[in-house]
Amino acid sequence: MSAFFQWLASIPPLAQIPLILIAFAAVVAIILFFVEVAPRRGTGYTILRLAVSVVVPVALLLAFGLYNSVMWVAVVAAVLGGILFLLDFRSRKGAGYALQLIAFMAPAAFFILIGLIYPTITTALNAFMKNDGSGFAGLDNFIWVFTSPDGVTAFLNTVVWVLLAPITATAIGLAYAVFIDKSRGEKFFKLLVFMPMAISFVGASIIFKFFYDVRQGEQIGVLNGILTAFGGTPVDWLGLEPWNTLFLVVVLIWTQAGFAMTVLSAALKGVPAEQLEAASLDGTNAWQSFWNVQVPGIRSSIVVVLTTISIASLKVFDIVSAMTGGRSDTTVLAFEMVRQFQLGARSGYSAALAVILFLLVLPIVVYNARQLAKQREIR
């Protein structure tokens, strides 16, 4: 496999393009095969699925040079394929429902157990232990969070993120939804607004880092370029306390406004036209119709957007890490949690920060779940 990539890198760029397109088409064809062809009924398709469950793992292992593992993987794949075949055969006979339920739920339950439940319990226990794990520390780690400069700064900055980012992004997204829905180039403008959502937080952070950039000599940052063009002096925006946290929040708002616009635009289109016509007959103007008819009609969607962006604000890590590395008092709970763990011998502090973050996110998740349950009951 490595030899193939080395050969690919050695050929001219123009020759690489068709090869990459062919590889992409092959991947798409394989995906379509598994989605459209493989699930079909019939003995031939069942045999095909069993063969693929063995051939694909073996081919991948051979491609990566793991020859010693081929036999074991082939045996495991054959056993799993046989189990799935048995379940499929019994389901057509109208039997084995309990066995099917256990068999298909077991893998997901296993990974949830080892990937979510076990780490959660372990982290909660470590939050009450000493940093070196030698004994019980009580609430000392939590006291450190709310008394140390690093912990207090992280907590207060997280509060700023949660208060500003969701409300601002939702308001901007709602404004986009209202005005773009009434424009001729609706699809084009929505694509432009939603495009930042397709960029990772790290990518967006790098874009804005150049936007805020400051350096000796000629300025390449947009803000400092404008300042110096009008005779001003360059400003270290990311080091300008306490405003630098607000400059970081702008990145999250920029990426999430497109998400808010998409959800709220769909919700606005779902408001019954009869209600808008009735409001118009009552003599309401556009603002009154929007505030008293449309906004109440999309309340549930607004709540979903607010809670989703709130959770993203609580968990924000990439933006802080990529733009400032937590310097100049820009750290937040998620970043400080990772930083304390990486410093070494501070696992108790890190676990305490994780528990606090979990407790802050939990009410929002519970509220969201209850709202969704109420909507299902209404339907």
> Sorting pLDDT into bands at 50, 70 and 90, what band is 93?
low
End-to-end CA, the chain: 53
Would you state the pLDDT for residue 67?
A: 64
Find the helix or strand (DSSP H, E) in which 333 lies: helix 333-343
Q: Do 319 and 189 sit in the same domain of this protein?
A: yes
Q: Which residue has the higher pLDDT, 181 or 314?
A: 314
Q: Do 347 and 210 sit in the same domain of this protein?
A: yes
Domain that holds residue 29: 2-123
Q: Do 215 and 334 sit in the same domain of this protein?
A: yes
Residue 44 forms part of a structural domain = yes
Averaged pLDDT, 316-324: 93
User: pTM for the whole thing?
Assistant: 0.74
Residue 288 forms part of a structural domain = yes
Condensed to tens digits (0 to 9), the pLDDT of residues 254-289 reads 999 999 999 999 888 888 888 888 878 877 887 888
Which segment of 32-41, 189-198, 210-219, 302-311 scores lowest on mean pLDDT? 32-41
Find the helix or strand (DSSP H, E) in which 299 lies: helix 299-314
Please state, in angstroms and as integers, the Cα–Cα distance from residue 106 to each residue in 40, 194, 203, following that order.
Answer: 24, 38, 37
Residue 134 forms part of a structural domain = no
Residue 240 forms part of a structural domain = yes
Residue 135 forms part of a structural domain = no
List all residues 6 or more positions away from 298 whose beta carbon is below 8 Å from its beta carbon: 264, 267, 268, 270, 271
Which segment of 2-11, 130-139, 151-160 scores lowest on mean pLDDT? 2-11
In contact, 201 and 259? CB cutoff 8 Å: no
Q: Do 260 and 214 sit in the same domain of this protein?
A: yes
In contact, 81 and 53? CB cutoff 8 Å: yes
Q: Do 238 and 347 sit in the same domain of this protein?
A: yes
The tokens 């054959």 sit on which residue? 78
Report the percentage of the chain scoring pLDDT > 90. Answer: 32
Condensed to tens digits (0 to 9), the pLDDT of residues 131-156 reads 887 888 889 999 999 999 999 999 99
Q: Which residue has the higher pLDDT, 326 or 377?
A: 326
> Quick check: 1 pLDDT over 80?
no
Averaged pLDDT, 316-334: 92
CA distance 307 to 336: 23
Residue 359 forms part of a structural domain = yes
Residue 197 forms part of a structural domain = yes
Last residue of a domain, one of 123, 156, 183: 123
Give me the CATH number covering residue 287. 1.10.3720.10
Residue 132 forms part of a structural domain = no
Averaged pLDDT, 301-312: 91
Q: Do 71 and 191 sit in the same domain of this protein?
A: no
Would you state the pLDDT for residue 255?
A: 93
Please state, in angstroms and as integers, the Cα–Cα distance from residue 24 to each residue in 13, 17, 73, 114, 163, following that order.
Answer: 16, 11, 26, 34, 43
In contact, 128 and 138? CB cutoff 8 Å: yes
Q: How many domains does the chain have?
A: 2
> Quick check: 188 pLDDT over 90?
no
> Sorting pLDDT into bands at 50, 70 and 90, what band is 356?
very high
Would you state the pLDDT for residue 372?
A: 75
Which segment of 43-52, 220-229, 235-244 scores lowest on mean pLDDT? 43-52
Q: Do 90 and 22 sit in the same domain of this protein?
A: yes
